[in-house]
A = this chain, B = another copy of it.
Amino acid sequence: MNYTENIISKYRAHGFKLTPQRLAILKCLDGNTSHPTAEDIYIELKKTHPTVSFATVYNTLTSLKDMGALLEVTIDPDRKHFDPNTTPHHHIICTKCGSIGDIFVDYSQALTLPEDVGAEFFLTGNHVDFYGLCKRCRTKGQV
């Protein structure tokens, strides 16, 4: 069962409607590793659904988040990005072009807290951001 099919059954299970707009948003997100913003999705949707509104995009994103089928990525200080891949992973960000990539490695073993903090804090997760220059930006020369 792929992403879209999986979520369609989740929508049904929750008694939510399967509207053309929602299906189009799912199609846009399925396998999407570009970490789009709400606006990216809105622009993409406009192509097939010219009357779609931002409210629908945000509403759908919220419903997906609520069902655990979408993650909000807090990396860009200016806007929210979204990630349909909900398996735990980390991100690698190009500080020149802003592109975001995925890193599927579990670093939990190595990421131990200092004793004093670890004794007080109930740890539930971690997330690593890697910074640097992507291949394209490296090649194309300096800023």
Residues of A within 8 A of B (CB): 72, 74-77, 80, 92, 94-95, 101, 103-105, 107, 110-111, 113-114, 117, 120-135, 138
Contact = CB atoms under 8 A, between A and B. Distances in A.
Q: Which 6 pairs of residues, A with B, have the shortest CB-CB distance?
A: A110-B110, A120-B135, A123-B132, A122-B133, A125-B131, A124-B132
For the complex formed by this chain, how many copies does it contain in all?
2
Contacts of A77: 72, 74, 80
A122 B132 contact: yes
A138 B121 CA distance: 8
A133 B107 contact: no
Contacts of A72: 77
**Of A92, A110, A121, most B-chain CB atoms within 10 Å:** A121
